[in-house]
Amino acid sequence: MKYLIALIICCLSVLTASAQQETAEKPEPVLTVKPAYPARAFAHRLNGHVVVSYDVNNDGDVVNARVASSEPAGIFDEEALGAIRKWKFTPHKPCQGLTKDFVFNINTKSSVE
pLDDT band at 25 (very low <50, low <70, confident <90, very high): confident
Fill in the DSSP letter of residue 107.
S
Residues 40 and 43: their CA atoms lie apart, in Å, by 5
Q: What is the pTM of this model?
A: 0.75
Distances from the Cα of 57 to the Cα of 51, 64, 69, 79, angstroms? 20, 10, 23, 22
> What is residue 90's predicted lDDT score, i.e. its pLDDT?
94
> What is residue 111's predicted lDDT score, i.e. its pLDDT?
55
Residue 45's nearest CA partner among 69, 72, 74, 81 is 72
Long-range contacts of 6-12, Cβ-Cβ distance < 8 Å, separation of 24 or more: none
pLDDT at residue 56 tops 50: yes
Over range 26-55, report the average pLDDT.
Answer: 95
pLDDT at residue 1 tops 70: no
pLDDT band at 107 (very low <50, low <70, confident <90, very high): confident
Pair 81, 65: CB distance under 8 Å:
yes
Q: Which residues pair with 49 in a beta bridge?
A: 71, 103
